[in-house]
Amino acid sequence: MSRANYTDDMDDGWAWIRWRGAVASAVNGRRGQALLRELLAALDAMPEKSLIADALTTPEGEMCALGVVGTARGVDLSDIDPDEPWEVSRALDIAEALAQEIAFENDDGGPYLEEPSHRWRRMRAWTERNILT
């Protein structure tokens, strides 16, 4: 299981349908769209276009997509457990479903052992695709 807490052990199809509905609502809602626009701007502003997996930030200044937003906002993420989506969502004032979806896309949405620069390009494209016009 990833830090998104997603699992492929889904026996209840209706639970899966309800979850995907919650994700769609979180992505398409006011706070979700604001977060995605903010994420896109923060990704573009990064001097080094690379993203890490499995952590919000590192002491060396590396970040995942959610870490980029937190850093851009000036939020101290050092005490946030990246494996607890409710902590991440509370720190960034977003829906837990959105925190889990972004963590999943960031960490597991690409190929195994993805290069950080490729992850950045993939997440930027994912973010741009999900912004409503």
Ordered per-residue pLDDT tens for the chain, 133 residues: 455 555 556 678 888 889 999 999 999 999 999 999 999 999 999 999 999 999 999 999 999 999 999 999 999 999 999 999 999 999 999 999 999 999 999 999 999 999 999 999 999 999 999 999 8
Any domain includes 4: no
Q: Which two tokens stand for residue 3?
A: 């830090």
Any domain includes 48: yes
Any domain includes 113: yes
CA 114 to chain CA centroid, Å, is 16
Residues of the domain holding 125 = 34-130
Any domain includes 57: yes
The three-point CA angle 50-127-112 to 5° equals 50
The three-point CA angle 106-107-110 to 5° equals 80
Q: Which two tokens stand for residue 65?
A: 């997509």
Any domain includes 117: yes
Cα–Cα dist 5/102, whole Å: 12
Any domain includes 63: yes
CA 75 to chain CA centroid, Å, is 15
pTM: 0.90
How many domains, in total, are found in the chain?
1
